[in-house]
Amino acid sequence: MTDQLRSLQVAGLLHPVRTLRLMQQAIEVNQLDLRGLTILTEMGSGAYVTTPLLAALAGADQVYALTQDSVHGVAADIATVGAQFARFCGIQNRIMVEESKSLEVLGQTDVVTNLGFVRPLDQKTVSKMKAGAVVALMCEAWEARPEDVDLAACEARDIAVIATNEDYPGLEVFNFSGPLALKLLFEAEIEVYQSRIGVVSTDKFGRVIASCLGRVGAKVQRFDRLAGAQVDEFLEKADAIILADYCSPDLFIGQGGQMEVERLRAIAPGVVVVPFAGRVDTKALEQAGIWCLDHAGEESARMARTFSHLGVKPVIDLHCAGLKVAEIAVRQRAEDATDAALNTALGLRGHTVRRSDNVKI
C-alpha cells in the first residue's frame, strides 16, 4: 500500500481507488461537461470531500470549495484531505478552498450548490451572486427547506433554482433510503428479517423504506400517523418503529405529540425508535428507557443520517446528477431559452423550482 493511499484511508476515505472510479463513472454516465463554468460548492468530511473534485474532473474552469469547522471535522483537516485526494485524482491546484462566501467568489460563480456550508442562500447572499446564475439544490424540490434558499430573492435576481429528480432512470439514488434504513436497524441490533417493524410516514421516504423492508422479510406496516387503535395493536408486539416523514413539522413522540412517551412505554416498552426523518423527544425517550437513534429527531425536514452513512456512491451519484442538471440550466439560459425550453431540456432530470413547488408529495 502506498503512503498516499494509507494517508487517505487514515483520514477516513477508506477506498480512494474505488471512489475515483465511481466519480469518473458518474461523470461519464451523466456526460457532465463543466468547461467554461465557475462552480461554488462545499468541501465536507468523508464522502462530501468528493463534490468539488467532481466539478474539477468534469472540466470546470474554476472550482471554489467552502469548508468550515463543524461537529463533523476541522476545516484545516478537511482541506488537507481534499488536497491529498485531488493529487491522487490528478487534479491538484484546481480547487480553491474558502472559509467564507466572499463577494468576489459569489459575483463570478455560474453554479452555486445549496450544500452544507454554502447554506443559507438568504437575501443577503443572493444579492451578492452573479445575476443569471444557477442554484443546484442537489435534492428533489419537495425536500427543499425554505430557510436554506430564498426563492423570492433568487427570482428577483434572475437566478434559477434547479432541483434534481432522484428517480431519474439510471440514477435512482432515492432508493438508497431503503438500505440506509436497514443499516440503522442493524446498528440498533434489530435483525429486520421476520422482525415486526412499523413505518410512520406520508411521503416518499416511507413508501420506499417500507417496500425495501418488506422485500427482505420484515413484517412491516406503514401508518400515516403514530396514533389510533390500529397503531396501538401493532406496537404491542413491534420490534421497531421508523419515523420517516421528512415534510411533517409534527412532534411524533413527546409531550403534545402524536404519541406521549409514557403511552409508548406502556404499549411497547421494548420497542426501538428510529427517527429516520421526524421529530421526537430524545431525552424523554432515554429517561423512559426506550432506545432511540442518537443525535436524531430534533428537527423536521432533516434526515438523521444522510446517504453518506452508507458509503460514497449515493453521494457521488446524486451530486454529479445535480451538477448535470445545473449544467443544462446554465447552457440553456446562456441561449436565452424560455422557461418552457429549459424544462424541455431538463426532461426527467430535474426542473426549475418555484416558490409554489416546495410542498409535500
Mean pLDDT of the region 268-279 = 96
Across the range 229-239, mean pLDDT stands at 97
151 with 182: CB under 8 angstroms?
A: no
Of the candidates 216, 195, 359, 212, which has an alpha carbon nearest to the alpha carbon of residue 276? 212
User: Do 219 and 157 fall into the same domain?
Assistant: no
Residue 29: CA atoms inside 13 Å, Cβ hemisphere, count? 18
- Quote the strand ranges of 99-159, DSSP E: 111-113, 134-136
Which of the given ranges, 14-18, 53-57, 331-335, has the highest pLDDT on average? 53-57
Both 93 and 20 in one domain: the answer is yes
Q: For 41-45, what is the mean pLDDT?
A: 95
Q: Report which residue type is found at 236.
A: E
Which residue's entry shows cell 474552469?
Answer: 61
DSSP 3-state of 164: strand
Same-domain pairing of 251 and 332: no
Whether 156 and 41 share a structural domain: yes
pLDDT at position 2 is: 83
166 and 251 assigned to the same domain: no
User: Omega into 120 within 30° of 0, i.e. cis?
Assistant: yes
Answer yes or no: is 257 within a domain.
yes
Query: Is the CB of residue 162 less than 8 Å from the CB of residue 326?
Result: yes
Say how many domains are in the chain: 2
Cell of 88: 491522487
One domain for residues 82 and 193? no
Predicted confidence at residue 361, as pLDDT, reads 33
Q: How far apart are CA 131 and CA 159, in angstroms?
A: 6
Asked if residue 270 and residue 153 are part of one domain, the reply reads no
- pLDDT per position as a tens digit, 195-233: 999 999 999 999 999 999 999 999 999 999 999 999 999
* One domain, residues 93 and 143: yes
Q: Which domain holds residue 344?
A: 3-171+310-357
Residue 287 has pLDDT above 60, yes or no: yes
Same domain as 139, residue 43: yes
Whole-model pTM? Answer: 0.94
Measured distance CA(115)–CA(70) in Å, rounded = 14
**Quick one: pLDDT band at residue 1, thresholds 50, 70, 90?**
low
Average pLDDT (149-165) is 95
167 plus 194 within the same structural domain: no
Nearest to 224 by CA among 199, 187, 204, 241: 199
